[in-house]
Structure 1
Amino acid sequence: MNLPSESLNDDFKPWESEKHFWIGVGEVAILEFIPWALAKWFRTWEDPADNWANVSSDTWWRNLQSGFEYDGDNFLTNNFSHPYHGALFFNAGRANGYNFWESTAFSLTGSAIWEHFGETFRPSFNDWIYTGVGGANLGEILYRLSSMITDNRASGSERVWSEIWGSLLNPVRGFNRAISGEMGQNFDNPEWSRPEDFLITFDGGTRSIDKDGDEKYTSKEVEGLFTMNLAYGNRFKAKKPFDFFGFEFAIASNKPHFTTMNSTGYLFGWELEKNKHRFDVSLDFNFNDLIKEEISATDTTYKGFLFGSTQIFPHLLSSFPIGEKTNLVTRFGINGMMMAATPNDYYVDVEGRTNDFGPGVGTRIYAAIQNGIWNYVSVLYYGAWLWTQSQPDNSKHHIHFLILEAQYPLTKYFSIGFSTGVYWRNSYYDAYSGIINGVEYIREPSEVSKRHPVGRLFFRTAILDL
């Protein structure tokens, strides 16, 4: 039940209305300590010498002197676990009164401290980017969603559940609401926390994908796929960072079950013509792990399909009316990848990494015929050149995604549809000879081409449309 305005505590000052620097610093310290302590004292190590939490002044000094490298962690750790840790660092600032840009300094600093002082390993540059910048993307999304779910005007069980769900989404903010007493106060919700436009859709169906990518198309894999898409705010009305953001999350019946987590958030931009043309810059994050990696006992050929990136996307956003309520919406811009991951066809790190890391650049083109909440037809092309910086280096990759999707609404909130497309990759490997993590590695020059056709059938429902 929402209390009437006259029952609210007008004298209560919300925690986030002021900056609390030392509380934020203390929370960063706690977020550094917890994973370190779990690894040092609670994790069982077959060889105690492998315990990366056995840090000392000697390891700290060595890390400060040696500088950054690229680590050997697997794709899930680098492209999900690290960004989530960064999201917690970010909210140590955001939930203590700091804005988006100031809070990004918390995630970058928290990550740098961990890389230099939390592990015996040399600091990892890819971890710093994924944790610091990817954490800012995910952190602001979690901050805004938790602020939207938490209802300061509610009472009784409704208030209890709003606090529980808000804290699960954003533990740092939930902790601050508890210690500040906000959980027990009734006061107005911030105006920005309730966007004018908000849409959640769920869809279920099947996905077919060619596993080997060898252009013979004889290794088709069919799986069930459950996807959630979330759109917060209006692209054409965004003024502050993440006034608009989109978030996609997918689970598959086959392995890997956690297959997709993509997001985009408005950073800044300029309106060229009201509700028609804008030039915007967004901060995007991609996690796509579509085929389970398979490594044979006799060689190290990688047979999976993955792609991840943290990037900025400067682009021209346009809307062209083609009917009374129908518009052609387009986006055209540059993929500026600060860090990206794509398969290495030959190398498997002793710690589990099967992908190359590096910066990249490319183009993205999107067009959709839109009516209300439905995109009747949409087409996306995503291209990128990636230059490998991780060991073994001396390689580059040319990556393409092309996806066509169509759907037909049967009712106001229910549609059926299909999508078809292809992911293709051309990788160019120069000769390499060297020692990586104590293991000799030799590679002959080669070129590898992969083609993975993808098809999908789905039912989609909109469960929340504001």
Structure 2
Amino acid sequence: MKRVFAYIVCFLLIISDICAQQADSLFAYNDSLRMKKHPWRAAIQTLGINATVWAYDRYIREAGFSYISIHSVKDNIKRGFVWDNDPFSINLLDHPFHGSFYYNTARSNGLSHWTSLAYTFAGSLSWELFAERESPSLNDLISTTIGGAALGEGTYRISSLLLDDSKRGAERFLRELLGTVISPSRGLNRLLSGDAWKVRHKYYKYHDYEKFPINCSLTTGVRLMADNNHLFRENSNLFLEFNMIYGDLFKNSTSKPYDYINITSLINVDGNQPLIGSVNIIAQLAGKYLEPLPGHKMSVGLFHHFDYFDSELVNKDSKVVPFKISEAAAVGVGMCYLLPVTKNVIIRYRGHLNAILLGGSLTDYYRNQLTGRNYNMGSGYSIKSNTYIEFGKYGSFELNLFDYHIFTWKGYRSEEVYSDPSTQGDKGNTQLLLINAIMGLNVSPSAKISLGSFYYIRNAHYDYHEDVLSRTFEFRLGLKYKF
């Protein structure tokens, strides 16, 4: 009898230990409140990123800016920060992507969002002051830090969807490989720590699908863009558009930074448009869930925004690039509302008002002969409105209104603009209004035909040049698949 009692006690202890593991260890390798923190390792790895990139630039590329010395460091500090002349994609997309490496280095070492943001700033600042013999760039510091946090947390969360320490063999290898491609800094840390091949209990997960539901879709089809509002002077190309909605704003538990993320990216497969046509990220930093009426749901909060739209000449006979606009560093307030109209008809609305700390916009005059820069930099504001209507099993309708206003306050009247390394471009302001309507017709529970129209109105005012008003539209026909 004593032996039976002992067996029962041992069994209960084992069960309680498993339950404790499930409660305490669930997401222990993803939640910064539970992860073991390695701040010094994160700092060393952040400096290691800079050393690696610098060594590549210096000894493989033999780039002139990489020939640094103690004198170049002193000169950088003495000259202070300027606005650089790198191309649009480098300043407003590549630098934020570089910043995501700093950010994910800190996050994968157990640090929180805000602490990782500080590491990103430190990594960018040390690069600007010590790793180049050119004047440190203010716009690089801003876009790498704030834009890098947006891309960094987004890729960190996506990689968490792939990781599963209970898997083995080929599936485990593929998951680790894809996770490393999406978040290289995290993948490197997993290799160094041994987590990449360590097998754990099935309860050791990296994502809570009940708390943070995931909705992903991929749209592929044809995109037709008109040249300066002329229907018969157009260009068509194939495109892929990826969208991921991470989390649910209409849950009371969605209140911490990046518990809600909406990521959309457009890739042009062929034609003469840029490979990456757009990247758009909206992430909630803090929020409050409300139920104003029975059945109605509402969320208000503070949001982090990253937007990047790029285009090139529609065809060889075109004279004007349709648009380039970016808010690489933007934050603002937002309100989201869910309204059930009938049993099958539901309306979701999102409205945002943002302050743009750093943005970029196409200019019609400023040109840098060395880098080909053709855009202004500055700050301003943006207004966004999204209305999404679901019609049950039949389909959906979506209407977007995006209004960006970028102000450039440092420019010149004459050709002096080309010789000043600290100019923002042509002094003035640019407004880009995007009106977008998308109709979706369901063909199966997971697939729909998507028909979209996009209308771009660019209104550029220049202090020392003639104003320019440009209009461009495009159509998209595609097949959207939800998975």
Counterpart of 2:433 in structure 1 is 400
Deviating 4+ runs (over 6 angstroms): 8-13, 293-296, 372-375
- Which residue among 244, 249, 271 is the counterpart of 1:254? 271
- Shift of the 417–374 alpha-carbon distance from structure 1 to 2, 3 Å rule, reads same
SS at match of 1:353: coil
Aligned to 1:69, what secondary structure does the other structure show? coil
Counterpart secondary structure, 2:343? coil
Residue type of the partner of 2:103? F
Instruction: Indicate if the aligned counterparts of 1:302 and 1:343 stay in contact, CA closer than 8 A.
Output: no
Q: Could you say what secondary structure the match of 2:65 adopts?
A: coil
**Is the 8 Å Cα contact of residues 160 and 206 (structure 2) preserved in structure 1?**
no
Distance 1:417 1:183, change over 3 A: closer
Q: Which residue of 2 aligns with 1:183?
A: 196
What letter matches 2:390 in structure 1? Q
CA distance in 2, matches of 1:372, 1:55: 62
Match of 2:366 among 338, 343, 347: 347
What is the total number of aligned residue pairs between the two structures? 436
In structure 1, the residue matched to 2:301 is 280
Question: C-alpha distance in 2, partners of 1:207/1:195?
Answer: 34
Percent of paired sites with the same residue: 25
> Which residue in 2 is equivalent to 1:313?
332
Indicate the SS of the match to 1:27: helix
Residue of 102, 105, 112 corresponding to 2:125: 112
- The answer as to 2:245 corresponding to 1:228 is no
What do residues 6-49 of structure 1 show as CA deviations (whole Å, max 9, x unaligned)? Answer: 7x99999859721111110111111111121111111155xxxx
**Alpha-carbon deviation of 1:421?**
2.5
Question: Match of 2:255, as an amino acid?
Answer: K
Once the two structures are TM-superposed, the CA of residue 59 in structure 1 deviates from its matched residue by 1.8
Give the CA RMSD over aligned residues. Answer: 2.7
Q: 3-state SS of the aligned residue for 1:159? A: helix
Distance 1:362 1:264, change over 3 A: closer
- Which segment is superposed worse, 19-28 or 167-176? 167-176
Q: Give the whole-Å Cα distance in 2 for the aligned partners of 1:367 and 1:91.
A: 33
Indicate whether 1:77 and 2:90 are aligned: yes
1:171 matched to 2:206? The reply is no
In structure 2, the CA distance between the partners of 1:162 and 1:216, relative to structure 1 (3 Å rule), is closer
> CA 1:14 to 1:243, structure 2 compared with 1: closer, same or farther past 3 Å?
closer
C-alpha separation between the residues in 2 aligned to 1:247 and 1:372? 24
Matches within 5 A, 1:415-430: 415-430=448-463
Aligned counterparts of 1:411 and 1:184: Cα–Cα separation in 2: 39
Alignment match, 1:440: none
Counterpart-to-counterpart distance in 2, 1:391 and 1:90: 27
Match of 1:323 in 2: 342
Letter in 2 for 1:41: Y
User: Is the counterpart of residue 43 in structure 1 residue 57 in structure 2?
Assistant: no
Deviations 1:59-116 (A, max 9, x none): 2122222222111111111122111110000012101111111111111111111111
C-alpha contact 1:250 1:261 (8 A) present in aligned 2: yes
Correspondence for 2:258: 242
Distance 1:179 1:373 in 2: 49
Secondary structure, counterpart of 1:52 in structure 2: helix
Larger Rg: 2
* 1:103 corresponds to 2:116: yes
Amino acid at match of 1:278: S
Q: CA deviation at 1:186?
A: 2.5
Corresponding residue SS for 1:278: strand
Name structure 1 gaps, 5 residues minimum: 46-50, 432-444
5+ residue gaps, structure 2, are: 1-14, 410-422
SS in 2 for 1:450: strand
Say which of 365, 370, 387 aligns to 2:407. Answer: 387
Q: Which amino acid in the other structure matches residue 259 of structure 1?
A: G
